[in-house]
């Protein structure tokens, strides 16, 4: 690949594995700094549901041995790292005997389908709006109307989600307030299920697109304003090239590079930023699953989900670093 060297590739891949190791170590340590015992909390929930439980102390000790929480911390860490390397994330403490990897596999398609699409839509619309706001040839009427699209930028995802639920679900009754699909619909590649998924996913996706595209637009506007005064832009206009060609090929192509980097980070950690949105809409994705793990002090579930976030973010950034020379031929990792 043009612009890449074996030396840089080896160093970059090594940094990828170091990042994964550091991230996995942190998510092992941080949950254990929180007060409370996850096994005792699980037994307490059982007592709240079923009343008095005989021999609860013995039960707690047995469950601690079952989940490997009775050994010294270094032994727990070694077992945890072995499970990470083999992607054997173990059993959920709160939803035993469900396995963490199976729960993630069930939740991941919902997050990828909804939030990836919403983020990409926000990225495309935001960058296009920002570029048009900065381009000198944009008609005055459009230039004056475009800032109105940034009205919701300062509103958090979940606050706009609550507003959308009140307006479109309870007041107008156009969309359902929660869930991913209607009850009784056969799950599969059929039109009824697809239509139900789109119907239920419209409000959460809209809350993400409306609140996040303003950040893309403002970043793109700043980059386009900077590029407007560059020599290659002035030369392209002086040569009489088509204005739209100058706008797309010379303006947007260069200005969008920092935005693509931010997009890679956003896609890699998308589930973490969607936790409150998925909770409000009771959407069965990774964010909602992470919330359930935090509420129930489920070490294994939290570690499994956050590890997948770290893996996704690190992988996205690695791929982006390797693709940047293709996006912009001026970028090279060869030492001059």
Pairwise pLDDT comparison (295 vs 261), residue with the higher score: 295
Q: Please list the residues that pair with 261 across neighbouring strands.
A: none
221 has pLDDT over 60: yes
Domains in the chain, please, with CATH?
A: 1-94+296-336 (no CATH), 108-295 (1.10.3720.10)
More confident residue, 332 or 101: 101
Check if the beta carbon of residue 224 is closer than 8 Å to that of residue 130: yes
With H, G, I as helix, E, B as strand and everything else as coil, classify residue 168.
Answer: helix
The pLDDT, as a whole number, for residue 257 is 73
The mean pLDDT value for 13-22 works out to: 89
User: Considering just the CA atoms, what is the radius of gyration of the chain in Å?
Assistant: 24
Region 12-27 average pLDDT = 87
Strand (E) or helix (H) holding 309? helix 299-327
Residue owning tokens 């979940």: 158
pLDDT digits (tens, 9 = 90+) for 20-49: 898 888 888 877 776 666 666 666 666 555
Q: Which residue has the tokens 């973490």?
A: 272
Report d(CA 262, CA 283) in Å as an integer: 25
pLDDT band at 133, cuts 50/70/90?
Answer: confident
Predicted pLDDT of residue 37: 63
Neighbours of 36 (CB within 10 A): 9
3-class secondary-structure state, position 197? helix
Least confident of 55-59, 201-205, 319-323: 55-59
């Amino acid at each position: 690949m043009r612009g890449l060297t074996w030396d840089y590739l080896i160093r970059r891949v090594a940094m990828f594995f170091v990042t994964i190791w550091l991230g996995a170590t942190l998510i092992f340590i941080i949950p254990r700094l929180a007060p409370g015992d996850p096994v005792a909390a699980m037994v307490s929930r059982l007592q709240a549901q079923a009343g008095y439980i005989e021999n609860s102390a013995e039960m707690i000790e047995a469950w601690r041995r079952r989940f490997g929480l009775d050994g010294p911390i270094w032994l727990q860490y070694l077992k945890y790292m072995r499970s990470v390397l083999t992607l054997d994330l173990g059993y959920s403490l709160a939803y035993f005997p469900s396995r963490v990897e199976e729960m993630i596999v069930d939740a991941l398609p919902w997050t990828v389908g909804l939030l990836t699409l919403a983020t990409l839509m926000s990225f495309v619309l935001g960058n296009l709006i920002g570029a048009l706001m900065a381009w000198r040839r944009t008609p005055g009427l459009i230039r004056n109307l475009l800032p109105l699209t940034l009205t919701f930028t300062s509103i958090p995802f979940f606050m706009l989600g609550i507003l959308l639920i009140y307006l479109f679900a309870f007041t107008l009754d156009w969309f359902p307030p929660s869930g991913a699909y209607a009850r009784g619909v056969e799950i599969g590649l059929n039109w009824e299920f697809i239509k139900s998924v789109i119907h239920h996913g419209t409000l959460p996706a809209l809350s993400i697109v409306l609140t996040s595209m303003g950040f893309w637009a403002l970043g793109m506007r700043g980059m386009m304003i900077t590029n407007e005064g560059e020599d290659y832009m002035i030369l392209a206009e002086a040569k009489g090239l088509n204005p739209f060609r100058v706008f797309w090929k010379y303006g947007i192509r260069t200005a969008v590079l920092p935005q693509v980097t931010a997009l890679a980070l956003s896609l890699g950690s998308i589930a973490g930023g969607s936790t409150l949105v998925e909770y409000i809409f009771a959407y069965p994705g990774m964010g909602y699953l992470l919330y359930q793990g935090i509420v129930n002090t489920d070490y294994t579930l939290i570690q499994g989900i956050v590890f997948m976030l770290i893996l996704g973010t690190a992988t996205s950034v690695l791929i982006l670093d390797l693709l940047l020379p293709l996006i912009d031929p001026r970028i090279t990792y060869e030492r001059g």
